[in-house]
Structure 1
Amino acid sequence: MAVTIKSYTTAQLEEFIHSEAFKHLPDYPISKQRAISHINNPRADKDDVILYLAMLDNKIVGYRLLLVENIIHKGTTEKVAWYSCVWVDPNQRGLGIAKKMVDAALKDWELKIVFQGPVKASKQLYTKDGFFKQVDLAGIRMYARFDFKTIIKNKQPGWKIALPFVGVTDKLLNVFGDVLLNLRTPRFKAESKVLYVNEIDEELNAFLLKHQQNSPFKRAKEELNWIMKYPWVFSAPTNDALGKNYYFSSLSTDFRVFMIKLMDNEKQVKGFMLLQIREKQLSVYQTYLEDEKVAEAAQLIYQFVKTYKLNTISLFQPQLVNYFNKHTTPFLYKKPLTRAYFYSHKLAHYFEEEQLIFQAGDGDMVFT
């Protein structure tokens, strides 16, 4: 039998995840918490197609999820979709399953697709037909603590047997490294000008909109409150029953998202940061800063690293990248970081003629 593609709209997805058929699937194409988040996406309509299942002999052999987004520019709004997670049964490779799902999404969304760079093995799938153009976002990654275990795990999977010994080495090195980090980290003196928030109010929303002129997606009050209310990943000490049947993240031993308001002496908003911690890694997303607050934002990042004993820091916000490149840090090492984004040729005028710029918090990165 040939592979067929079945699609689900937002409304149909809600019915699907509450069905008996979904409950008894051998492999889940989406977790319930992730589905509920998509269903409550303020930019999604009930008839938007967001999930594709590849079926062979009535069995799921692949799936592709999309995140509904809007490009907002000069008073107009154009609905687009972000490619999110994709999975193909490794026993069914060579049947063109991934391409069938890509083609189905391009057709349904009339080529209005954007996504963050795929893994090398699948990049040709998206680029060979000339549908997509690439733009790179320049960033920086900083290493605050020794973490050879994670590096080897990601780069040399065949060295699995050595990981326990490498982990012990990391711990021993960090006994001394943490002492030096604490000594070299300057004391944060601006607590009275920082406010942690769990939702965006009107004052903060006005600040965000003012600083989003070159952002295509302009996530503000409604979207950020949705992100905080409907996470895709929960913190838990162990895996659960879903983990054996779902190939993407639903749990993490440590997953936290912070929204931070930076103010001046008169309590006027001068900066906003959205930070994510996941298992000793700090990612800086959706950050807008007045020039006077850049150094203070950097000092706050130092405090996060020190307090939570974070291993790595990744960021792409231009002001902060420039700051960390020009200043000595208390960290062990820093290096340039590049993230590739792709947009279909149908959306080229936004990113070429209008010069809109992708940001690290765009798409589904903040959720995972």
Structure 2
Amino acid sequence: MIHLKTLNKQQLSEFVSSGEFRKYDFLPITEHRAKSHIANPKATDEQTLLILAFDDERLAGYLGCFPDHFKIDGIRLNYAWLSTLYIGDQFRGKRIAQALLSKAFEAYDGNIALTEFTKEAESLYNKVGVFQYIQPKTGKRYYFRTDFQTIIPTKKPDTKSLKPLFGIADGMINSLISLKNSFKNQPDFKFEVIGKIDSESAGFISKFQSNRNADEINSLIENPWVLERETEDEKYMFSSYAKVFRYFWVKIYDENNTLITCSLLLLRDGHLKVSYLFTDSDLSRFIQFLSYFIIKNKVKILTSYQAELNKKIEETKGFPKIHERDLERRYLLHQQLLKNLSENFNPNFQDGDGDCVMT
């Protein structure tokens, strides 16, 4: 017999602090992700953050909800991003995923959004029949170093025995790339890299339309879903640990020492993302800084859905990319959420909106 249990802030806190969440065959959440959900400034005390599905007393699956809201003409519209959905192997085929989704729809009156879903999950969401696509974001993935020893065996498993050879090739090619990049100097203009948003930056970004303000972004920085550790937690099926996981708040100044650009960068195991970008400039200085940052931190990949930034990169000579490819980020919104939004409403999602800034 399948039954569901919903947890709000207080209930989730008790669930984790008691250690109860550890007693199952797989983890429905990690302790640090739970603390992050509880600290989310956009979540109210009553909102559902985690839904558990039980088959008798055994945990069969779970679904995570990440509350957010839009401000429309001064009126707050609460909704949630679905952040995790997992069903244990032995419980599949019992329509548990559909039951979890129905419970989330009920908890948020249909105000549900989705992005960064797998093809398998996308197929499920389309079968449910209540979601609609909105305008996707087009982006770019830029490559700065080779990683044949990871990419080729992943795509062609029968080449795993050749991994050491691919590693040697990576070493040789990347040494040449490093030599070439060693001639790029630190930018000659003023910039700062700090751990979170300061008062000067908060004042600057308040001029821009954004789904998150300085305090909300700082809260996410201070309460990460991913911690630095050598190995992942095998009992949790989503992101929990990485060898490198760091946020950088970047401030760029003009020749008069006036702040012109702020950005939140997320670096995870060589993969860089521009989660938030606020600028009064043509981005030339930011791209100079970005080139320097990429070389200094041995970044392998940059993923960006920042349209103006990508356009400017294409026009910039000397950006240290060796390859690029086009990307698309799709969004699914529940039909009820779309009904609650004005017909021409543009969410103006940045790269970090939703739960993307957390992973």
- Provide TM-score, normalisation by structure 2: 0.92
1:351/1:179 CA distance change after superposition, 3 Å: farther
1:285 match = 275
Structure 2 Cα separation of the partners of residues 4 and 153 of structure 1: 42
Deviations 1:224-243 (CA, angstroms, capped at 9, x unpaired): 1101211111212x227xx1
For 1:339, which of 329, 334, 346 is the aligned residue? 329
Measure how far apart 1:92 and its partner are: 2.2
1:246/1:351 CA distance change after superposition, 3 Å: farther
Measure how far apart 1:222 and its partner are: 1.5
Unpaired runs of at least 5, structure 1:
none
For 1:308, which of 285, 290, 297 is the aligned residue? 297
1:287/1:140 CA distance change after superposition, 3 Å: same
Matches within 5 A, 1:150-229: 150-152=150-152, 154-156=154-156, 159-183=159-183, 185=184, 187-190=186-189, 192=190, 194-212=191-209, 215=210, 218-229=211-222
Does structure 1 conserve the Cα–Cα contact (< 8 Å) formed by 2:141 and 2:326? Answer: yes
2:267 is equivalent to residue 274 of structure 1: no
2:353 is equivalent to residue 362 of structure 1: yes
2:95 is equivalent to residue 105 of structure 1: no
Structure 2 Cα separation of the partners of residues 126 and 24 of structure 1: 30
Across the aligned residues of Structure 1 and Structure 2, the Cα RMSD in angstroms comes to 2.1
Does structure 2 conserve the Cα–Cα contact (< 8 Å) formed by 1:117 and 1:342? Answer: no
Measure how far apart 1:69 and its partner are: 0.7
Q: Which moved more, 1:256-265 or 1:146-155?
A: 146-155
2:115 is equivalent to residue 116 of structure 1: yes
1:92/1:157 CA distance change after superposition, 3 Å: farther
Measure how far apart 1:337 and its partner are: 1.6
Structure 2 Cα separation of the partners of residues 158 and 91 of structure 1: 29
Give identity over the alignment, percent: 28
Structure 2 Cα separation of the partners of residues 21 and 33 of structure 1: 15
Letter matched to residue 142 of structure 2: M
2:281 is equivalent to residue 263 of structure 1: no
Deviations 1:105-158 (CA, angstroms, capped at 9, x unpaired): 011111111121311112121123442222210111111010123323553456
Structure 2 Cα separation of the partners of residues 197 and 99 of structure 1: 43
Q: Secondary structure at the match of 1:7?
A: strand
Structure 2 Cα separation of the partners of residues 41 and 195 of structure 1: 27
Does structure 2 conserve the Cα–Cα contact (< 8 Å) formed by 1:51 and 1:64? Answer: yes
Deviations 1:175-226 (CA, angstroms, capped at 9, x unpaired): 222222334x465222x2x1223333443223223211xx4xx211221110
1:96 match = 95
- Provide TM-score, normalisation by structure 1: 0.90
Does structure 2 conserve the Cα–Cα contact (< 8 Å) formed by 1:351 and 1:357? Answer: no
- Aligned length, in residue pairs: 356
Unpaired runs of at least 5, structure 2:
none
Structure 1 Cα separation of the partners of residues 221 and 176 of structure 2: 36
Deviations 1:275-310 (CA, angstroms, capped at 9, x unpaired): 011111111111111134x01111111111101111
Structure 1 Cα separation of the partners of residues 263 and 9 of structure 2: 30
Q: Secondary structure at the match of 1:262?
A: strand
Does structure 2 conserve the Cα–Cα contact (< 8 Å) formed by 1:186 and 1:299? Answer: no
Letter matched to residue 205 of structure 1: A
Structure 2 Cα separation of the partners of residues 226 and 18 of structure 1: 21
